[in-house]
Structure 1
Amino acid sequence: MELGIGIGWRPEIADTVERLPGLDWVEVVAENICPGHLPPALLRLRSRGIRVVPHGVSLGLGGADRPSQQRLADLAERAEALGAPLVTEHIAFVRAGGELTASPALEAGHLLPVPRTWDALSVLCENVRVAQDSLPVPLALENIAAMISWPDEELTEGQFLAELVERTGVRLLIDVANLHTNHVNRGEAPSAALDELPVEAIAYVHVAGGVERDGIWHDTHAHPVTQPVLDVLSDLRARVSPPGVLLERDDDFPSAAELESELATIRTTLSAVPQAPPSIEARDPGRRPGKGARSGPAAAAEGAGPSPGKGARPAPPASAARAHADSGARERLGLAQAAVLSALVAGTPAPEGFDARRLRVQSRALAAKRADIVGKVAPELPEILGAGYRPAFLAYAKGRPLHAGYRRDALRFAEHLLAAGHLEDGDARRRLTLWWQERAAARPPRRATRLVRAARAALVGR
């Protein structure tokens, strides 16, 4: 299925997107739309024949738990409401802990990398099969950007993706900006990943901007696309004609002219590379990626030789060649992910083998993103607190992991400020009290109530 050139649809640039010339399709964050109340701008795009693809961010298919049936049902509902040709998600975990590990449930509020191990691969494949059986359209999964590396990994990124496709037939959403990010942050050459992954399984490609600070690349989606990212796109284009390429921009939105210019640069980059053979899917749209070849653990266990132009994939140990993840694999993965996430959001020590400095950088990035999202969910808070909003929120978030979503987080932040007496500005305190009362209860909690809640939280966390 050919998609063409697209852009990430965001409410802030809805009017601009409608006016962009030569636009073939758009992608929307699935969790940000309501099937029964689709934005009029999206409906107008659909009426013009522009396809809309929902892009999920909260399934956490790389997590140790099986995917939530409610989240899958919500994603399926959005796909049907939009008449989408496919849906996409990420190879990542976004939560950890809970019943599986008998530890507090933690939310990252961000996409975190899974370890490239046979255990993690088995769990991911089983979760993907559950998702595929629950969705009305094909699923494609995206490689993510990462600041941190797991110790003792057993597979490269390309090998991990190739095994995933062979075992499940899932399609791939390759983000070339994320390949560049992992090159800077983890020393992984994009060309090596492209050599090893099955390019014929690519459903479409993401292109996005970022920025480097202190030797670490931040995949911001708020900066222009850089030449190194375009170079990775050229490298991919030399190997295959991707069915679609999409520009992502999530913040600090530029003018319409700048967006048009970036899309034009993407088109030029694609056309400047000698014609690559079309993907297998493009030649035969009904063909499922991986179909027709031996697949699954049995084929992997045989250690088939390298495909043309690709390196040989390592044969898994016998225990990893089973078709399904056993409970031991889920528990081992769950404990490891809970330890990492706890270090990132709850201030516990870095697990053995991890770069403590990188974990601190990732922790600060998670807290900053959390502050940004709470500020968007509850824009009155930055308005009331002014320049003090961000430092106050970051101080609040330290050691207080995200629970029950960002709206509840905003309320708890306000409760914290009011009950702890941190606001010396009487007008700001009055306005914050009124804001809190309108959304939560007749009055903010007294200090005694806050102390009781803190004691309960400490007992649960033991």
Structure 2
Amino acid sequence: MQRLTRLGTGIGWRPEIADIVEAMPGIDWVEAVAENVCPGHLPDSLLRLRARGVTVVPHGVSLGLGGAERPDEHRLADLAARAEALGSPLVTEHIAFVRAGGERTASPLLEAGHLLPVPRTEDALDVLCENIRIAQDALPVPLAVENIAALFGWPGERMTEGQFLYELVERTGVRLLIDVANLYTNYVNRGEDPGRALDEMPVEAIAYVHVAGGFKRDGVWHDSHAHPVPRAVLDILADLASRVAPPGVLLERDENFPYDETELEREVAKIRETVAAATPAAPAAPVGRVTKPSAPARQGPVEDRVRERVALAQAALLSSLVAGTPAPEGFDRARLAVQSRALASKRADVVAGVAPELPGILGRHAYRTAFLAYAQERPMTGGYRRDALDFAEDMLLEQRVEEPFRRKQLTDWWLERSGPASLKGRPMARALRAARFALRRV
């Protein structure tokens, strides 16, 4: 296992708070969502931070390392390019799957639009380990993977979260990005003790730590990244820091940014103080299991039948969440319903972010109502930008926009963006019908 990079205290860089982050005192490093950064056109804010010696780490969200398929070569190349462009000491991703279906299951390929938990079983672990090794071989810097928050559990799981993470590190040598807010989420939603998870996982493999806020709704805790960090999450951070000095700690805030910019400064300061107060002056050996110092043994390739079993299970679950098919046997149907609503809401929010003209044209409330109704009938299959085009196309085809001036604005927007590249891969009859309808506008 390679030596850890000391990062210090940081904050998630987002375009909406770029100026605040640049002006914030005591920031040692920042993390940027990898998919939102173009290697050839880095944001000026990140360039200025780098020039000041602030480390920038790309944080990927779309690889789907826990999915049944091997990592996509193009996505891996893109992540590698971002790491090199930013001069990053490492890159991070998630222990999750984000899409399922396709040829292996003879079913449509569906996108979750969010991170979904993998089952803690031998099959899922075998697939995850091989996928991580493929990613490690393709990346120019070390990889760290993050535990995720879950609203539900898989039936028939054989390991706790700590045991699963221990086996993952043991087999691959991968670093861990431990999100203490996610540990708290899993405590509230699944009754999993954060202390036991820290006892069982290899805390000396931690590359850095995420801290974030959330809220409770529908009887479950939602890891929103849009609210202040609660005391309970800071307590878990203190527990972790009492076991091992974390190389880096970072505040995540993705939306609902405070008007008072000093609020984020106070949150970062509180995180720094929590770690300093809990970390022993002379750190002892980490509490819990310790990984072997030798390099992990290379495993043979995962058999196709193992990937097929994982693929079928994930496709059945995702289809129930986004396409309305029956819940697979053994799952908590009430929890899956909560997750389904959360995925649709997240999808509406992200589409509004990548295509802000849509809520501007339709009106914010009307957009959200229309999009949630659309999402119930149309699972996402091609990413958020394609989803925005498909939604607008559906609104025009089904004549769901009554006001002539809004219909004209939506038509103009759709026509401007539905060139050959946007139409590629769509059913031609539907695309031509939509184009003809649009041209018949007022």
* 1:352 maps onto 2:356 in alignment: no
List alignment gaps of at least 5 residues for structure 2. Answer: 435-442
Amino acid at match of 1:373: V
Q: Please give the alpha-carbon distance, in whole angstroms, between the structure 2 residues aligned to 1:214 and 1:355.
A: 14
| Helix, strand or coil at the partner of 1:179 | helix
Please give the residue correspondences for 1:10-409 in structure 2 after superposition, counting only pairs within 5 Å. Answer: 10-254=14-258, 255-275=260-280, 278=283, 290=291, 292-293=293-294, 295-296=296-297, 323-386=300-363, 387-409=365-387
Give the Å deviation of 1:426.
1.6
Q: Please give the alpha-carbon distance, in whole angstroms, between the structure 1 residues aligned to 2:383 and 2:98.
A: 12
Q: Please give the alpha-carbon distance, in whole angstroms, between the structure 2 residues aligned to 1:104 and 1:274.
A: 49
Amino acid at match of 1:273: A
Q: Deviations over 1:315-342 (max 9, x none)?
A: xxxxxxx644211110100000000000
Give the Å deviation of 1:436.
1.1
Residue range with higher mean Cα deviation, 420-429 or 60-69: 420-429
Residue range with higher mean Cα deviation, 373-382 or 265-274: 265-274
Amino acid at match of 2:280: Q
Give the Å deviation of 1:425.
1.4
Q: Deviations over 1:372-414 (max 9, x none)?
A: 1110111110011112000100001113111221111111111
Give the Å deviation of 1:81.
0.3
Q: Please give the alpha-carbon distance, in whole angstroms, between the structure 2 residues aligned to 1:406 and 1:274.
A: 42
Amino acid at match of 1:73: A
Indicate which of 377, 394, 406 corresponds to 1:416: 394
Whether the 8 Å CA contact 1:169–1:291 is kept in 2: the answer is no
| Helix, strand or coil at the partner of 2:373 | helix
Distance 1:380 1:451, change over 3 A: closer
Q: Please give the alpha-carbon distance, in whole angstroms, between the structure 2 residues aligned to 1:268 and 1:236.
A: 14
Q: Please give the alpha-carbon distance, in whole angstroms, between the structure 1 residues aligned to 2:36 and 2:431.
A: 35
Give the Å deviation of 1:214.
3.1
Q: Deviations over 1:191-213 (max 9, x none)?
A: 01000000000000000000011
Aligned length: 419
Distance 1:453 1:200, change over 3 A: farther
Q: Please give the alpha-carbon distance, in whole angstroms, between the structure 2 residues aligned to 1:51 and 1:436.
A: 40
Give the Å deviation of 1:37.
0.3
Give the Å deviation of 1:439.
1.3
Amino acid at match of 2:310: L
Whether the 8 Å CA contact 2:244–2:279 is kept in 1: the answer is no
- Runs of 4+ aligned residues of structure 1 deviating over 4 Å after TM superposition are 276-281, 293-297, 448-454
Q: Please give the alpha-carbon distance, in whole angstroms, between the structure 2 residues aligned to 1:338 and 1:372.
A: 24
Q: TM-score, normalised by structure 1?
A: 0.87
Q: Please give the alpha-carbon distance, in whole angstroms, between the structure 2 residues aligned to 1:119 and 1:140.
A: 21
Whether the 8 Å CA contact 2:226–2:257 is kept in 1: the answer is yes
| Helix, strand or coil at the partner of 1:151 | coil
Whether the 8 Å CA contact 1:25–1:50 is kept in 2: the answer is yes
Distance 1:49 1:153, change over 3 A: same
Q: Deviations over 1:62-82 (max 9, x none)?
A: 000000111111000000000
Give the Å deviation of 1:450.
4.4
Distance 1:18 1:323, change over 3 A: same
Amino acid at match of 2:26: G
Q: Please give the alpha-carbon distance, in whole angstroms, between the structure 1 residues aligned to 2:141 and 2:245.
A: 22
Give the Å deviation of 1:343.
0.3
Whether the 8 Å CA contact 2:218–2:338 is kept in 1: the answer is no
Q: Please give the alpha-carbon distance, in whole angstroms, between the structure 2 residues aligned to 1:245 and 1:357.
A: 35
Amino acid at match of 2:253: R
Amino acid at match of 1:352: E
Amino acid at match of 1:399: E
Q: Deviations over 1:287-337 (max 9, x none)?
A: xx945248559xxxxxxxxxxxxxxxxxxxxxxxx6442111101000000
Q: Please give the alpha-carbon distance, in whole angstroms, between the structure 2 residues aligned to 1:147 and 1:295.
A: 32
Give the Å deviation of 1:449.
4.8
Aligned to 1:307: none
Q: Please give the alpha-carbon distance, in whole angstroms, between the structure 1 residues aligned to 2:432 and 2:406.
A: 26
Whether the 8 Å CA contact 1:382–1:389 is kept in 2: the answer is yes
Coordinate RMSD, CA, aligned: 2.1
| Helix, strand or coil at the partner of 1:123 | helix
Distance 1:170 1:280, change over 3 A: farther
Distance 1:453 1:204, change over 3 A: farther
Aligned to 2:439: none
Whether the 8 Å CA contact 1:132–1:138 is kept in 2: the answer is yes
Whether the 8 Å CA contact 1:239–1:277 is kept in 2: the answer is no
Q: Please give the alpha-carbon distance, in whole angstroms, between the structure 2 residues aligned to 1:453 and 1:102.
A: 28
Distance 1:268 1:451, change over 3 A: closer
Whether the 8 Å CA contact 2:110–2:319 is kept in 1: the answer is yes
| Helix, strand or coil at the partner of 2:348 | helix
